[in-house]
Structures are given as C-alpha cells and as structure tokens.
Amino acid sequence: MAERKTNGFRKTLLGAALGAVFLSPAAAFAGDAPAMWRLKDADSEVYLFGTFHVLPASVQWTTPAFDAAMQETETTITEADVTSPEAQAAMLGLVQKYGLNPHGVTLSSTLGPERAAEVERIAGSLGVPMATLEPFRPWLALISLGSVAMQSSGFDPASGVERVVIARAASQSDRIEYFETAEEQIKILASLDDEEMLANFDVTVEQFDDFKALTEGMLASWKAGDLDALEADILAPLRDTSPAAFRDLIVARNKNWVAKIAAIMEGEGDYFIAVGAGHLVGEDSVVDLLGERGFAVERVQ
C-alpha cells in the first residue's frame, strides 16, 4: 500500500512538473500593468509581452492595450508548446528520459548528506515524501517541489498567461508558433554540469523558506510592470551565483530568440510574442539585444 501511494504521488509530481516554470523584466510604467513593448517598420510589427507562467485563478491582468495588440496581430509566438495533449504526452516521456537518475543512483547520493537533509526538510513541509524524489535528478526535484509549493500558495497552472494567450490566439484564428520545443527546454536543464547544477540548486532551495512571500512579491511586481524588482528577485541570484546556468537558461535563449525576431522584421507581418518576463529585462535581455542590433524597441505598456 505504501509503495502504491508513493508511486501515485510520484506521478502527481511528474504531472505538476509539466506545467512548471522553466527557470524559468522601465520603471515609468510601474503601477500600470504587465510590461509590453513594440517594434515596428514599414511592413512589420512585433509586440513583446512579458508573462507570468503560473497565476492564481483570481488574478485579472488583461488590459485594453493587451487586447488591441492581440487583435491586430495575426501570428502569436510563445516559448514552447507545453499545454496541448500531444505536448503533455511527449513531455512526460522527456521528463522520464532526462529527469530520472540511472539505476542505483538517488537524489540523496547526488546531493550529499547536507543538501539532501535540506531537501527532505522542505519536502516534508510540503507534504512530499522524500522517497518520491529519490529517483529524480536535482533539476526535476526542484521543479516538482516548486510546482507543489506554488499550488499550495494558490497558484494554478491552468491560469498561466500563456494559456490565456494561446486560447485568445486560437479564438482569433491566429497562426500559433513557438520559439523552442519542450525537448530543447528540458535538455537545457538536463545539460548543466554538476557544479553549475548544484550551484543553481542551492540558490533555488534558499527561496523555499520564503516561497509564498517571494512569489506574491514577484506577482505584484509583474502586475505593476515593475521589472527592476523582478530582475532583482529572479535574475540577480542566478546570475551572481551560477553564471553558467544564467548563460544557458537565459542569455543563450535570448540570443536565439532575437535572431528569430530580427528575421521576422526583415519580412512582413504582425506578431504577438509572449515570453517569460525575466527574458525582457536588463543587460542581455531580448529587449537589450534587439537595441544592440539597431531596433527601436518602444515600451507601450
């Protein structure tokens, strides 16, 4: 009976991980609304909207400017398809392929006794048996615990911004595209070397004790368009303590997306692009890199 219960809980964690945030922001607009920018030339227009991947169901965040931007664009782009039934099924296989330890290796043996004890303490506070986490690699354990913690704090994976954006795009018969595949995202997490993985692990674990206050603060900053505060809460800890992880998870992806946006601007058409708000703030952000390429990026919300 205990083993069956453990297996059931493990499936719940794997399912929660599929909707989790992949490690997953101009002060003049602070207090207004979630940030949005626009690039425009003679035959192309691109909106960039910073998202919050998981939200409480009660949060209202759409605005007339957001509605108008989606209405006037015929193509919508998000980071990756992680919500369709096909994507969910594929991701479960990918998580099992890249997120589970080889036979005989446990999370505790990978982390060492001190880190393992800390994870067991956090897991216990969330009602997660440590045994359910032992088959997981550290990145998957963190995503799983983060998903449980967010849901315990009132956040609902079904209420994330991307789900609203995709549903709106579909209702408007927009073409829907993605910057990445789910496999590419998971491979980035799985490819961190041991030193960087554990450094990133330590940063993330430190946030669990103040998880509710931290997430509520980030949500308030996102809703207000206060992206300096989001940078301080999300990006600065990762950049300062795990620079290689920051490079791989944030900067490298930003550069890939900027190359695709530049190609869009060379053609014609109107696009609405929604990506995590952390990719749109500060040095080496999508906005910053577009500016370095000579594009005039105007904040419109």
Q: Which domain holds residue 193?
A: 29-299
- Cα–Cα dist 87/80, whole Å: 9
Per-residue pLDDT, 242: 80
pLDDT digits (tens, 9 = 90+) for 238-294: 888 788 888 998 999 999 999 999 999 999 999 999 999 999 998 899 999 999 999
Report the relative pairing of strands 75-78 and 175-178 from DSSP bridges.
parallel
Yes or no: say if 46 and 38 are a contact pair by the CB < 8 Å rule: yes
Lowest mean pLDDT among 47-56, 67-76, 154-163, 258-267: 154-163
- Cα–Cα dist 200/291, whole Å: 29
Closest CA to 215 of 269, 156, 280, 155: 155
1: in domain: no
Cα–Cα distances in Å, from 110 out to 101, 114, 135, 186, 195?
9, 11, 11, 19, 11
66: in domain: yes
Count of domains for the chain: 1
241: in domain: yes
160: in domain: yes
Yes or no: say if 29 and 191 are a contact pair by the CB < 8 Å rule: no
**Which strands, in side-by-side order, build the sheet including 175-178?**
175-178, 75-78, 269-276, 44-51, 36-40, 298-299
Evaluate if residue 83 carries a pLDDT over 70. yes
Evaluate if residue 28 carries a pLDDT over 70. no
147: in domain: yes
Give the residue-averaged pLDDT of 165-193: 91
- Cα–Cα dist 116/123, whole Å: 10
Cα–Cα distances in Å, from 196 out to 94, 105, 138, 201, 239?
21, 19, 11, 8, 11
Give the residue-averaged pLDDT of 117-130: 94
20: in domain: no
277: in domain: yes
> Which comes out higher in pLDDT, residue 208 or 106?
106
Closest CA to 135 of 103, 112, 111: 103
pLDDT digits (tens, 9 = 90+) for 214-229: 888 889 999 999 988 9
Q: What percent of the chain is predicted at pLDDT more than 70?
A: 90
Report the relative pairing of strands 36-40 and 269-276 from DSSP bridges.
unpaired
- Cα–Cα dist 177/186, whole Å: 19
11: in domain: no
- Cα–Cα dist 88/247, whole Å: 27
Give the residue-averaged pLDDT of 170-187: 94
Closest CA to 119 of 102, 104, 137, 101: 137
Q: What is the pTM of this model?
A: 0.85
Residue 128's Cβ-count burial label (10 Å; 0-12, 13-18, 19+) is: buried
Evaluate if residue 30 carries a pLDDT over 50. no
Per-residue pLDDT, 209: 79
Give the residue-averaged pLDDT of 126-149: 93
